Amino acid sequence: MLNDRGKEVQDLREAMQPQVEGSAGDQQPGATLSVILVSFNTRELTLSCLGHLYSLELPSRTEVWLVDNGSQDNSAHHVREAFPNVSLICNEQNLGFSRAVNMALKRCSGRFALLLNTDCFPEPSAVAELLRVMESRPSVGIAAGSLLHSNGRPQNSFGRAPTLGTELLPKALLEVLLPSRFPSKRRPPSVPMEVESVVGAFLMVRRKAWEEVGLLDEGYFFFLEETDWCVRMRKGRWSVLHVPQARAVHLQGGSAAAQGAAARIEFYRSRYRFFRLHRGELAAATLKGGLILKGFCNLVFSGLMGVLPLPWTSKWRDRNRIHREILIWHLKGCPQGWGLERG
């Protein structure tokens, strides 16, 4: 028998466990594909994305998982009503993207998993194209598609893993002057191409690969978790592939997009973690010093532009506010309490 204190601890642990919903028939044993979405206060986007997903060319044995990170907009209820076949994992709080995805990866049964942002809408055959490439190339651990703006312009979908050069020098200039070393959307490939890193909004991963390399690093709350995964995949001798024929419109209108300075701070935090893990402490310290200097220059320049009587003055004032908050965060020692909202 548990004493009163032991019973309280057990009750607390049970309360912290995520709710998992979905019938055994929905969570298909031996599914070909498991589609995983994570939502946080993006109800309308999530519903639109799920509706679009079911209109695509998908394998007959496909299961869909949605991990809701403690949304306050009743997302889970609406998904439950509109899409009863979706397997829901409902967290009481925002646990971050990596941890949420890992919850689904641990429970899903697919030979492949598709990570799909709720603001990402693949073309009809895009998922099937990613799956075809993965099945025909057994050495590929991760394959990701080509992301587009709603007007068809290409977004950044792939590139080099971060280095001091890419983070401290003008990246656009590197891509123009050294396109073979710094591939980008400026010269998109016409056929599948091995790359160092891909953007995780529309990303397919092989079960065997993630079981060998490991799940997403939960030390990243948001941003660069997929970049870290790609680097670890390549170290584990798995290829990372960009598949231009698998196209998807990416609205970039998810929960982080509206967070302004908080999202930027979270991006800086993730960059520093990536450098400590993959480039070393000296490189991480050099990066931080360089970005603080760049941030100060950006603060001064945006402040000057914000006082000029020009049509875009308010835009520069907004930028100045963000640069100021980021610089203050650095000067305070990068405290953990700043950044995106956590549970």
Q: What is the pLDDT of residues 13-56, one digit of tens each?
A: 343 456 666 533 345 568 999 999 999 999 999 999 999 999 99
Sign of the Cα pseudo-torsion (202, 287, 175, 191, in order): negative
> Left if phi > 0, otherwise alpha if psi is -120 to 50, otherwise beta: which for 45?
alpha
Q: Give SS3 for 165.
A: helix
* Cβ–Cβ under 8 Å, residues 268 and 287: no
Task: For residue 198, list its beta bridge partners.
Answer: 158
State residue 119's pLDDT score: 97
State residue 313's pLDDT score: 87
Question: Quick one: which of 314, 270, 321 has its CA closest to 291?
Answer: 270
CA–CA distance, 16 with 112 (Å, rounded to integer): 29
Would you place residue 1 in the very low, low, confident or very high pLDDT band (cuts 50, 70, 90)? very low
State residue 153's pLDDT score: 94
Between the alpha carbon of residue 34 and those of residues 177, 300, 324, the distances in Å are 40, 48, 42
Residue-wise pLDDT for 71-86, tens only, equals: 999 999 999 999 999 9
* pTM, to two decimals: 0.88
Q: Give SS3 for 22.
A: coil
State residue 324's pLDDT score: 96
Would you place residue 3 in the very low, low, confident or very high pLDDT band (cuts 50, 70, 90)? very low
Domain ranges of the chain: 10-250, 260-331
CA 203 to chain centre: 9
Residue-wise pLDDT for 265-322, tens only, equals: 999 999 999 999 999 999 999 999 999 999 999 999 999 999 888 888 889 999 999 9
* Cβ–Cβ under 8 Å, residues 80 and 50: no
State residue 312's pLDDT score: 84
Between the alpha carbon of residue 197 and those of residues 87, 118, 143, the distances in Å are 29, 21, 10
H/E stretch holding 149 reads none
Pair type for strands 193-194 and 19-21 = unpaired
Would you place residue 197 in the very low, low, confident or very high pLDDT band (cuts 50, 70, 90)? very high
Residue-wise pLDDT for 168-180, tens only, equals: 998 888 888 888 8
The CATH number, out of the four listed (3.90.550.10, 1.20.1050.10, 3.40.50.300, 3.20.20.100), of the domain defined by the range 10-250: 3.90.550.10
Amino acid found at 259: Q
> How many residues are there in the chain?
343
State residue 309's pLDDT score: 86
CA–CA distance, 186 with 179 (Å, rounded to integer): 9
CA–CA distance, 260 with 146 (Å, rounded to integer): 25
Kindly state the tokens that stand for 112: 């492949």
Is residue 222 over pLDDT 90?
yes
Question: Quick one: which of 140, 50, 127 has its CA closest to 88?
Answer: 50
How many secondary structure helices (H) and strands (E) does the chain include? 12, 12
Is residue 224 over pLDDT 70?
yes
CA–CA distance, 150 with 249 (Å, rounded to integer): 6
Number of CB atoms found within 10 A of residue 125's CB: 14
State residue 342's pLDDT score: 78
* Relative orientation angle of helices 43-53 and 75-82, to the nearest 10 degrees: 30
Which residue has 């290829």 as its token pair? 239
Q: Which residues contact 7 (CB under 8 A, 6 or more apart)?
A: none
Lowest mean pLDDT among 122-136, 184-198, 215-229, 232-246: 184-198
Residue-wise pLDDT for 227-243, tens only, equals: 999 999 999 999 999 99
* Cβ–Cβ under 8 Å, residues 117 and 254: yes
Going along the chain, which residue ranges are E strands? 19-21, 33-39, 62-69, 87-91, 112-116, 120-122, 140-148, 158-159, 193-194, 197-198, 202-206, 239-250
Residue-wise pLDDT for 93-150, tens only, equals: 999 999 999 999 999 999 999 999 999 999 999 999 999 999 999 999 999 999 999 9
